[in-house]
Chain A
Amino acid sequence: MTRFVVRRLIGMVAVLFAVSVIVFVVFMVLPKQNPAQSLAGKNSTPLLVKNIEAEWGFDDPLPQQYLTMMKKVFNGELTSYEPRIPVDDKIVEGIPATFSLTIGAAVIWLFFGLLLGYLSAIKAGGWLDRLLTGVSIAGISIPVFLLAPVLIYLFANQLGIFPNGQYVPFGDDPWEWAKHLILPWFTLAAISIGFYSRVVRSNMLDVMNEDYVRTARAKGLSERKVMTRHVLRNSLIPVVTLFGLDFGATIAGTAIITEAIYDIDGVGLYAAEAVEKFELPPIMGVTLYGAFFVVLMNTLVDLFYAYLDPRVRLGESASE
């Protein structure tokens, strides 16, 4: 087990290193424009560009430039230049909103995804199954940038039941916090609800054919126990992996669009605004932050997976 953990942690560091190199290459090497010019932003003075050039050492050899960049990242010296705002401050500021959005959405999508998938599987072939399959296909096919406007238009603008977004910190008013987040939560969760219910359904149908399910029935367990303790439990193992990856990826990706449309003051909105203004330092920062979460979640998932499936834990196959 210790070896397993150590191996995963080394892998995690390796991926983070790879991401940092990619970020470096993408921002400093690939563009044909002078990177200092790009970093400074659209409306920068020649003086600022000169300063940045010196600050980042763009005359140095590439490995040295990479080290300079990483030093800045680790010392929290990455800043946007117009105006000069430290990137890590903004990221830290945005985390509560982003986490409120993504964790809430994840709870919703897991709950409904599992519920719909479970119902679909135990009624496989019946009308409920067909109905739920239709619902999940619709869910999968609705992109965030359609669902969000529709929900805002219907529930905020027309019916006025929910506010059209924005973020109220939980500490200020938990009720308003939830009320403001409910549309974004469902927007962000919709696709995953559809997707997870299909995955859970098909996993469960596979597991139902397993010999040990027949054994469970032969023991005289109730159908509900057979379905929950044996079928559902075992079909969740692959879902855990999926969830870990998706959750990390949601923090580091999808949430951006949702935050932008609902005007939620999180890391994603910060990134979206930076993209709009073509401000590179915040995007570099957010990418590295996102990578950290994706990789962290991947690692946690691997460890949790090992906990769920004893065969992995003891190093017997199953890892691939």
Chain B
Amino acid sequence: MSPPPLLSVRDLRVGFATEDGVVQAVDGVSFELGPGEVLAIVGESGSGKSVTAQTLMGLTRAKNARIEGSVELGETDLLEAGDAEMRRLRGDRIGMVFQDPMTSFNPVYKLGDQIVEAIRAHRPGTSKEQGRVRAVELFEAVGIPNAERRIDDYPHEFSGGMRQRAMIAMALALEPEVLIADEPTTALDVTIQSQILRLLEQLNRERNLATILITHDLGVVAEVADRVLVMYAGKVVEQGTLDEIFYDPQHPYTWGLMGSLTRIDRPRPHRLPQIAGQPPSLLDLPEGCPFRPRCPHEFSKCPQYPPLDAKLPESPGHCDRCWLSPEEKRDKRMVEGQIGLEAPRA
């Protein structure tokens, strides 16, 4: 019943050689994505979620980068593709929307021209006029009023939300099959955030776009995602459908993320829960479970590295990387009547 995967990532590993050693930014990430599906990759900064996204785009290729595994888009293996082939794919079959619409447009060119530039990079035969017509269509499609006039504006003449719409329009210029949105709403006001999410959702439905949404905000995930991948220190710690993750989260880190969500449908807890401590340095990971130092439920098994397994027979797609048994988890994750990570023992 599920459509054949459009994008399939298998055991992706991305490491960067630095003066202080190899930073394994992404460590064994696998997922599949079908047309029309929205996959959310969630994690704190440094969890490897953005590196994953940029690697799909071929933007992390550098002399000091070591990229392993496989990323298949249809028939093409993106990691095997040469730089020139990758360049042709970028923007054409995969579009990308970045976090900060303020800085992600070149300030010296008109927005319309920047879109036309993207089109002409892939369809050299397109005239400037045709490109312009297309840019206007795109502006209209993403809900920018007065599109005809506004494509001649410069980026700084747009508000943040409108700029992000323009960014989405540019990412869609060549009708890509996959859209990667890297923290698309983080830099925006709360009210604008949901408008942009609405837009992404609508485009995803209308165009049957496979969408990868990178975010640190589970609230964003709840609004649009079909499936969720939770990353921590370069590794996937939990994955499942939206419902599985939200109603039955298995990994303590996910509980922590859930607990830090402010929910208007529940009474506010005494202390706004948050995950104690800092994400670990990728140069100096603890042995075993990387979340161990921040986890209040650490026990004797944790110094061994836990596998990513499905623990619940009724949901075989719901995997997590934690040694606790599902029963223990269901017990421990309830803090003051809701899911959360209890404050660490002082």
Contacts and interface: CB of A to CB of B under 8 A. Distances in A.
A210 B157 CA distance: 19
Contacts of B106: 212, 215-216, 230, 234
A234 B170 CA distance: 20
Interface string A198-232: 00000000000011101111111111010001100
Interface string A306-320: 001111001010000
Given A215-B104, A218-B96, A310 B91 contact: no
Contacts of A222: 87, 121
Nearest to B101: A211
Nearest to B122: A220
A221 B88 CA distance: 8
Nearest to A313: B154
Nearest to A217: B59
A310 B156 contact: yes
A234 to B, nearest CB: 6
A218 B90 contact: yes
Contacts, number: 78
B72 interface: no
Given A212-B103, A220-B90, A221-B117, A308 B108 contact: yes
Categorize the interface residue count of chain A.
20 to 34
Nearest to B99: A211
Nearest to B90: A220
B156 A219 contact: no
B115 to A, nearest CB: 9
A182 B118 CA distance: 43
A220 B108 contact: no
A209 B98 CA distance: 14
A215 B92 contact: no
Contacts of A220: 87-92, 118, 121-122
A316 B156 contact: yes
Interface string A293-308: 0000000000000001
Interface residues of B, number: 29
A237 interface: yes
Contacts of A212: 103-107
B87 A215 contact: no
Nearest to B63: A125
A233 interface: yes
Interface string A217-255: 111111101000110011001000000000000000000
Interface in B104-147: 104-108, 117-118, 121-122
A220 B94 CA distance: 10
Nearest to A236: B108
Contacts of A217: 57, 59, 90
B118 A219 contact: yes
A212 to B, nearest CB: 4
Contacts of B170: 215, 219
Contacts of B108: 233-234, 237, 308-310
Contacts of B91: 218-221
Nearest to B106: A212
A225 B83 CA distance: 14
B100 interface: yes
A220 to B, nearest CB: 3
Most central of A211, A233, A316 by chain B CB within 10 Å? A211
Contacts of B171: 218
13 contacts: A211-B104, A212-B105, A215-B96, A218-B90, A220-B89, A220-B118, A221-B87, A221-B91, A221-B121, A223-B87, A229-B117, A237-B108, A314-B154
Interface of B: 57, 59, 83, 87-92, 95-96, 98, 100, 103-108, 117-118, 121-122, 154, 156-157, 167, 170-171
